[in-house]
């Protein structure tokens, strides 16, 4: 079992915060529940490699140092040729990158209510571990609201040292998505940051 701060992820505690966050953002927990059946099918139960260090690379002008193996976050995979792990919900990373990572590298694929039908059509390989927002038997719940924070949680569970590059405030590289973050997306990132810090400093996980 992957661990964070030497404890199993406690997603039942997380769900109490998540329901409040979803209400604030106008998202649907019911749609996420509907996605769980597809998530079970997509999940290959693959075991992610462990590292001494990992560099988490985001999609904003990514310039990794390559001093550690690379964990690409979403659209960063379109720009960084040499990465080892991809963390994505398919909203930013090209479909061919999702497929390539699932076959030749390692893919943490986040499945939720707005993407499960599209992701279920992809011819994915076996190097896949599905992540979800809700606790469910046989699935890997990671308590984080955004791909960036999800990558940080995962990286800290896989490596002794974590470096972070390629994240900007309020902007995304236009080669990966939009030039400016939509207000709803920006609100989601802000809420995700608050929940991530709450988990860090108040021992949620």
Indicate whether 68 pLDDT > 80.
yes
Please compute, for residue 48, the number of CA atoms within 13 A of its CA located in the half-sphere on the CB side.
30
Question: Nearest 5 degrees, angle CA 2-CA 137-CA 39?
Answer: 85
User: What mean pLDDT comes out for the span 99-107?
Assistant: 96
Query: Residue 183 phi/psi, 5° resolution?
Result: -50, -40
What confidence category does residue 29 fall into, taking pLDDT thresholds of 50, 70 and 90? Answer: confident
- What local confidence, expressed as pLDDT, does residue 192 receive? 55
In 58-154, at which residue ranges do the beta strands (DSSP E only) sit? 70-73, 85-88, 106-110, 128-132, 140-141
Indicate whether 36 pLDDT > 70.
yes
pLDDT tens digits, residue range 140-186? 888 787 888 889 889 988 999 999 888 865 434 444 444 434 454 55
- What local confidence, expressed as pLDDT, does residue 193 receive? 59
pTM of the predicted model as reported, rounded to 2 decimal places: 0.78
Indicate whether 44 pLDDT > 60.
yes
On the 0-12 / 13-18 / 19+ scale of CB atoms within 10 A, 8 is exposed
The per-residue pLDDT of the chain, averaged, comes to 79
- What local confidence, expressed as pLDDT, does residue 83 receive? 95
- What local confidence, expressed as pLDDT, does residue 189 receive? 57
- Percent of all residues in the chain with a pLDDT value above 70, rounded to a whole number: 74
Residue 142: both structure tokens together: 């990671």
- Which region among 32-36, 61-65, 75-79, 177-181 has the lowest average model confidence (pLDDT)? 177-181
CA 143 to chain CA centroid, nearest Å = 10
- What local confidence, expressed as pLDDT, does residue 201 receive? 33
Give yes or no for a contact between 79 and 177, defined as CB atoms under 8 angstroms apart.
no
Inter-axis angle of helices 183-201 and 11-25, nearest 10: 150
């Amino acid at each position: 079992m992957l661990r964070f701060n030497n404890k199993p992820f406690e997603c039942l505690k997380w769900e109490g915060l998540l329901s409040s966050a979803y209400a604030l953002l106008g998202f649907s927990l019911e749609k996420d529940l509907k996605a769980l059946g597809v998530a079970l099918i997509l999940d290959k139960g693959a075991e992610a490699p462990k590292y001494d260090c990992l560099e988490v690379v985001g999609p904003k002008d990514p310039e990794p140092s390559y001093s550690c193996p690379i964990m690409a976050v979403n659209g960063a995979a379109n720009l960084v040729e040499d990465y080892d792990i991809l963390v994505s919900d398919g909203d930013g990373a090209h479909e061919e990158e999702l497929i390539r990572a699932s076959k030749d590298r390692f893919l943490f694929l986040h499945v939720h209510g707005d993407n499960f039908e599209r992701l279920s059509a992809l011819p994915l390989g076996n190097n896949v571990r599905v992540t979800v927002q809700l606790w469910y038997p046989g699935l890997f719940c990671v308590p984080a609201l955004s791909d960036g924070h999800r990558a940080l949680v995962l990286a800290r569970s896989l490596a002794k040292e974590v470096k972070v590059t390629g994240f900007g405030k309020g902007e995304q590289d236009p080669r990966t998505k939009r030039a400016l973050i939509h207000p709803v997306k920006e609100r989601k990132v802000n809420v995700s940051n608050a929940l991530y810090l709450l988990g860090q400093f108040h021992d949620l996980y």
